[in-house]
């Protein structure tokens, strides 16, 4: 057990953002196969908010029925290697890195000054981006990458991304474009130009037009924010088309049913976290083919304000927590 301490955002009960607080906790010590990372930047995302509030209730079955076993949230990060275990071969002290925790199997821990991680889901930070930009790469992009692969998004196919200005949506637009698909993005008026700059071939402003009523059809409709439904989107799918869901337990049932019935399917792919995909994302960033969109940055001490903003559902791309003194000051 380490005698050194670090600052972290913790919570000891489920509830609103106000259950979060800054506390001095024990600094983790890496095992032989782990890397100790001094975190410079991390993110606050929808998953963090769902887990903190235990909504849906099913989160309690994974993370503590009465109170959270995971006191520190946060799954993606960027920083510098502070120490390495004896079995670590890919990293050295001082390396700049970014990566993600596979939270369903490894837990969270990113909203703190230090974290221990295995090598697999870490990569050297692309020189083409900042710590803040690197911290925001993995979570939304890995969810989007799993989804577009599941739906065989490629050249010659068309995809509509609903919620194209969110973390998963901005990633989906760029990745679908990278794979050669024709991309239609749906967002609100203020984000039209941003989404177009990410590579969308067409942009629909949902404040002015309902894509489900314009008569156009697509091979894939990707609901990147969990606010639509298969029933409403079915008419926008070509025969054999796929509705990609990111939220809503009922979509598990629909995925099972539509696999056997009907000519339009529901898919609810669970995001995969692999070394190869983290390295792929890093290479795309370095090549200028992918960028994480950042809406706001907050210092670690304003984690409550950051969580409140994420829960408005109005964020564009990602919300950053700046952790170390090497980060830049965020806006409140």
Q: Are 236 and 211 in contact (CB under 8 A)?
A: yes
Q: Are residues 146 and 60 in the same domain?
A: no
Which residue segment(s) compose the domain that 253 sits in?
Answer: 139-267
pLDDT at position 105, please? 81
Answer yes or no: is 15 within a domain: yes
Sorted by sequence, the CB contacts under 8 Å of residue 193 that are 6+ apart come out as none
Q: Are residues 132 and 181 in the same domain?
A: no
Q: Are residues 256 and 157 in the same domain?
A: yes
Answer yes or no: is 155 within a domain: yes
Q: Are residues 300 and 241 in the same domain?
A: no
pLDDT for 154-186, tens place per residue? Answer: 999 999 999 999 999 999 999 999 999 999 999
Task: Report the number of distinct structural domains present in the chain.
Answer: 2
pLDDT for 185-239, tens place per residue? Answer: 999 999 999 999 999 999 999 999 999 999 999 999 999 998 899 999 999 999 9
Tokens of 136: 């925001």
| Cα gap 259→264, rounded to integer Å | 9
Q: What is the largest CA-CA distance in the chain?
A: 64
Answer yes or no: is 287 within a domain: no
Q: Are residues 248 and 168 in the same domain?
A: yes
Rounded mean pLDDT of 68-91? 96
Q: Are 98 and 77 in contact (CB under 8 A)?
A: yes
Rounded mean pLDDT of 273-300? 96
Proportion of the chain above pLDDT 70, given as a percent? 97
pLDDT at position 332, please? 33
Q: Are residues 193 and 307 in the same domain?
A: no
Q: Are residues 207 and 194 in the same domain?
A: yes
> What's the predicted TM-score (pTM) here?
0.92
pLDDT tier for residue 328 given thresholds of 50, 70 and 90: very low
Beta-carbon neighbour count of residue 307 at 10 Å? 27
Answer yes or no: is 110 within a domain: yes
- Counting DSSP H helices and E strands in the chain, the numbers are 11, 15
Q: Are residues 113 and 155 in the same domain?
A: no
Cα atoms found within 13 Å of the Cα of residue 210, Cβ hemisphere only: 6
Q: Are residues 72 and 143 in the same domain?
A: no
Whether 304 has a pLDDT exceeding 60, the answer reads yes
Rounded mean pLDDT of 274-295? 96
Of 252, 267, 282, the residue at which a domain comes to its end is 267
pLDDT at position 259, please? 87
Give the least confident one: 128-137, 253-262, 272-281.
253-262
pLDDT for 26-52, tens place per residue? Answer: 999 999 999 999 999 999 999 999 999
- 114-118 and 122-124 as β-strands: parallel, antiparallel, unpaired? unpaired
């Amino acid at each position: 057990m380490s005698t050194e301490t670090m600052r972290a955002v913790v919570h000891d009960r489920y509830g609103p953002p106000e259950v979060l607080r800054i506390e001095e906790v024990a600094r983790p010590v890496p095992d032989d196969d782990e890397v100790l990372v001094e975190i410079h930047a991390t993110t606050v995302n929808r998953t963090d908010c769902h887990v903190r509030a235990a909504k849906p209730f099913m989160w309690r079955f994974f993370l503590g029925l009465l109170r959270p076993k995971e006191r520190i949230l946060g799954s993606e990060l960027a920083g510098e290697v502070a120490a390495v275990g004896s079995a670590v071969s890919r990293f050295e002290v001082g390396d700049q890195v970014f990566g993600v925790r596979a939270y369903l199997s490894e837990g969270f821990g990113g909203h703190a000054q230090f974290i221990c991680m295995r090598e697999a889901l870490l990569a050297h930070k692309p020189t083409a981006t900042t710590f803040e930009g690197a911290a925001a790469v993995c979570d939304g992009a890995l969810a989007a990458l799993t989804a577009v692969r599941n739906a065989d998004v490629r050249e010659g196919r068309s995809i509509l991304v609903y919620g194209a200005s969110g973390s998963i949506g901005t990633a989906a637009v760029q990745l679908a474009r990278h794979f050669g698909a024709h991309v239609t993005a749906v967002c609100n008026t203020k984000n039209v130009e941003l989404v177009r700059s990410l590579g969308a071939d067409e942009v629909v402003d949902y404040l002015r037009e309902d894509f489900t009523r314009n008569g156009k059809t697509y091979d894939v409709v990707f609901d990147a924010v969990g606010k639509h439904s298969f029933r409403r989107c079915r008419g926008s799918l070509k025969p054999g088309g796929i509705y990609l869901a990111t939220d809503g337990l009922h979509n598990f049932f629909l995925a099972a049913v539509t696999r056997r019935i009907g000519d339009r399917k529901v898919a609810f792919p669970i995001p995969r976290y692999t070394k190869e995909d983290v390295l792929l994302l890093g290479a795309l960033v370095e090549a200028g083919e992918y960028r994480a969109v950042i809406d706001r940055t907050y210092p670690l001490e304003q984690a409550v304000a950051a969580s409140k903003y994420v829960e408005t559902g109005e964020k564009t791309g990602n919300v950053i927590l700046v952790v170390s003194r090497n980060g830049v000051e965020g806006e409140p």
